[in-house]
Amino acid sequence: MPVHDYIPVSPDDIPYQQEIDLDSGNYLFGFQWNEIDQSLTVDIYQLDGTPIWLGEVVTLNQPLWRGINAPGLPTETIIPMDESGNEDEIDLGNLGDTVQLCIDDIPDGED
C-alpha cells in the first residue's frame, strides 16, 4: 500500500507555527488545539506572516480548505488521515502518530 508524503505535526508543541515547503510554494502553518470542543485548527500564512486562511477545522478524511477558493492557498490537496484506517477522530494522542496531514500526491488507482 502506498504511503503518502505528509506534513509533520508535533502535538506536544501546540500551539505553534512552522514553515512548510510544498511544491506550490512555502507557507507558514499555525496549529491550535481547542480544549472546549476537542478540535484541531490550522492557520495558513504567507512566509511574511500575511494570513491566507485562518481557523480551518481539521477533520479526519476531509481535505483542508475544501470548497474554499482563496488566493494563495496551496494547490496540493492535504487530507488528515490514518492510512491504516483504524482511527475515527483526531485527538492529541493520535495526531502525528497514526493520524497525519497527508499530501494527496499518489496517482489515482494506486491507493
Q: What is the pLDDT of residues 55-65, one digit of tens each?
A: 999 999 999 99
pLDDT of residue 104: 85
Residues 6+ apart with CB under 8 A from 42: 29, 30, 31, 32, 56, 58, 64
- How far is it, in rounded angstroms, from Cα 79 to Cα 57? 12
Residues 6+ apart with CB under 8 A from 97: none
Q: Is 14 helix (H, G, I), strand (E, B) or coil?
A: coil
Summarised one tens digit per residue, pLDDT across range 10-43 is: 999 999 999 999 999 999 999 999 999 999 999 9
Residues 6+ apart with CB under 8 A from 37: none
